[in-house]
Amino acid sequence: MDMAARLKGEQPKNVLELACGTGILTRRLRDGLAPAARLVATDLNPGMLAFAQGKFSAIQNLEWQEADAGALPFSDGSFDAVVCQFGLMFVPDKKSAMRECYRILGPGGVLLFNVWDSIDRNPFGQIAHRTIASFFEHDPPNFYELPFGFYDADLIRGLLQRAGFKAIEASLVTLPCRSPSAAEFAIGLVRGNPVATAIQERGVEIDDVTRAVTREIAQRWGAAPVESTMQAFVWRAVHE
């Protein structure tokens, strides 16, 4: 699922990263691209963008810009590759995002992105979602429905085709998902994303939820170490 390695094989000269988050992929992209290649890392959240930028010293040919994937502030045909790692699931208007990616790519340009498979195919997410929901009789947090809710291949292919893309390919990737312990895994699943805020806003003790998720993980895979699997799709589409 190494997006940086996949992109490197395209040998792009002008690359746009969507939803760069904390900059994990940004680092790998910059290291893998040719020194003269330009990389623009974007995110809708200015705080997240500032955090990511703060992890880098002044690096040549690396730019940072706040950007909405559904209304990108770039001219037509200004990039030859767009890459997004586990970000398009969170974009509200996916139709506009696909069209915008097509617009800013030049002829032969490549869109490369990955999305999680369904929550049923990712047991760690299923356990977190089910256990968190068990604390709420009404209005449980629905965060985990977002990252695991954009997997339908026919839907995604249709969005890409209607945007104008050709040579559309999808690869199913299954990889091990490891953690030193059930407790550490649970902390990441409960506290490491916006579901933590949703839990606290509903008046439930987050420590209680974390302990419950820890127990469920330990029951499924043991207390330490933990090894599960994760499954996702990698999509590649080409500008006509």
Residue 110 β-bridge partners: 81, 238
Residue 1, pLDDT score? 61
The arithmetic mean of pLDDT across residues 206-219, rounded, is 98
Q: Are 80 and 138 members of one domain?
A: no
Confidence of residue 153 (pLDDT cuts 50, 70, 90): very high
Same domain, 122 and 197: yes
CB 4 within 8 A of CB 28: yes
How does pLDDT run across 47-104, given as a tens digit for each residue?
Answer: 999 999 999 887 778 999 999 999 999 999 999 999 999 999 999 999 999 999 999 9
207 and 122 in a single domain? The answer is yes
Are 8 and 58 in a shared domain? yes
**Residue 184 domain-assigned (yes or no):** yes
Q: Which residues lie below 8 Å from residue 150, measured CB to CB, with a gap of 6+?
A: 88, 89, 94, 115, 116, 156
pLDDT digits (tens, 9 = 90+) for 182-205: 999 999 999 999 999 999 999 999
Residue 129 and residue 108 in one domain? no
The residue type of 99 is R
Residues 62 and 11 in one domain: yes
101 lies in some domain: yes
Domain that holds residue 78: 1-116
The per-residue pLDDT for 6 is 96
Domain co-membership, 131 together with 103: no
Element (DSSP H or E) covering residue 230: strand 226-238
Q: Determine the pLDDT at residue 168.
A: 99
Residues 106 and 123 in one domain: no
Place of tokens 């820890």: 214
Task: Return the axis-axis angle of helices 182-191 and 123-133, rounded to nearest 10°.
Answer: 70
pLDDT in tens, 105-132: 999 999 999 999 999 999 999 999 999 9
Answer yes or no: do 108 and 82 share one domain.
yes
Kindly report the CATH number assigned to the domain that includes residue 6.
3.40.50.150
Q: 44-50 long-range CB contacts below 8 Å, 24 or more apart? A: 44/19, 44/68, 44/69, 48/20, 48/21, 48/22, 49/20
With left for phi above 0 and alpha for psi between -120 and 50, is residue 112 left, alpha or beta? beta
- Same domain flag for 203 and 226: yes
